[in-house]
Chains A and B, each alone.
Chain A
């Protein structure tokens, strides 16, 4: 145990993966402590706070790539998901919409950040209607007419209007050029995006996160992973 501790603290993720990864994930070892649910019972003057053991959600058996370190690599989902894949994203969020910590889910840093961005975009697109933040009791929010949006990477409140798009020699960074091949058929498929240079302007998916569906070579309007898995 002491030796294991030293290895875990000293040598980092790699060794941790070697020593504990296979033992934790692919071998069906029962957990050391089960997941518990905290229940508070009030009996007169006595309050009993009890942790009752509930069903521990386990990873589905036979991942396609058992040697992967994070869930995304194990299930071959790298560069395959998008903000629309709510079935995947909902596994990493709390009931009120927040993200679960990386040390709990086991994701690697980059994938955790990508999932976080996709979850934010899904919330803003209204794809997670039952994961709203908890409001104080008895509070009735004013129902303002909501604007529909999608692919919103940046918070709407943080963004200012672009009053001046610039002269001909100094135009703002336009959205990536769209090559509409099937315009006459009316479908949005068959689009490809080219990179754009210039000063920062329209908020668009940043080039530093190439995983987002818009920046893939085969185009933006492809099926999300969950839809493919469902056989749609």
Chain B
């Protein structure tokens, strides 16, 4: 492969790239970790804090993120309006209902470096609650990043052959009146 001359090589190294990330059934913390790395430009070997080498990240389906454990009920987002008595605390579930984008936005905001670059990097982040993304952003997208969490398959997503191929692990073991384990009645309401 022929190597590029100087100007095209410079352009290829420092061009700003647009990444797409699908947040369906993904934990928002892992999405935020990926996004913050790309926004800062830490994934590039030419990274420097002052060289403004970050990329754009578009996250879709933020309405369908999944928290592990009981974080929907336990995780609390706090804020203060500045006025006395203005301390507000909302659970993750309430915040998500009010604004489906806020959880991912706050997660990424907290993972970026706490300097003046943070606001500019947040401007390069684009969050959409569902799959509809404006056309001009769609035209810019170059790569889709793989999802951080492997989503497990539901029972109805397995084919009948796979279900039959899986071995049956037990046979019914019922005791009749004498107390000796044997096969017996098992009521099936059809």
Q: Does A114 belong to the interface (CB within 8 Å)?
A: no
The count of chain A contact residues (Cβ–Cβ below 8 Å) is 82
Q: Does A9 belong to the interface (CB within 8 Å)?
A: yes
Residues of A within 8 A of B67 (CB): 147-149
Residues of A within 8 A of B149 (CB): 188, 221
Closest to B89 in A: A163
Q: Does A195 belong to the interface (CB within 8 Å)?
A: no
| Known contacts A4-B180, A127-B152: A103-B74 contact under CB 8 Å | no
Bound together, the chains give a CA A185 to CA B7 distance in angstroms of 29
* Cβ contact within 8 Å between B75 and A38: no
Residues of A within 8 A of B185 (CB): 33, 35-36, 51
The count of chain B contact residues (Cβ–Cβ below 8 Å) is 63
Chief secondary structure at chain A's binding surface? loop
A-B contact pairs, 26 of them (CB 8 A): A24-B171, A32-B176, A32-B183, A36-B185, A37-B190, A39-B190, A58-B168, A63-B167, A83-B152, A88-B166, A91-B169, A92-B170, A105-B170, A127-B155, A130-B156, A150-B68, A152-B69, A152-B70, A159-B74, A161-B76, A162-B75, A163-B76, A186-B148, A202-B70, A202-B74, A227-B153
5 A-B pairs with least C-beta separation: A31-B183, A84-B152, A148-B66, A60-B167, A71-B170
Residues of A whose CB lies within 8 Å of any CB of B are 1, 4-5, 8-9, 16, 20, 24-25, 31-39, 51, 54, 56-60, 63, 71-72, 74-75, 77, 83-84, 86-88, 90-92, 103-107, 125-131, 145, 147-154, 156, 159-163, 175, 180, 183-184, 186-188, 202-204, 221, 224, 226-227, 229-230
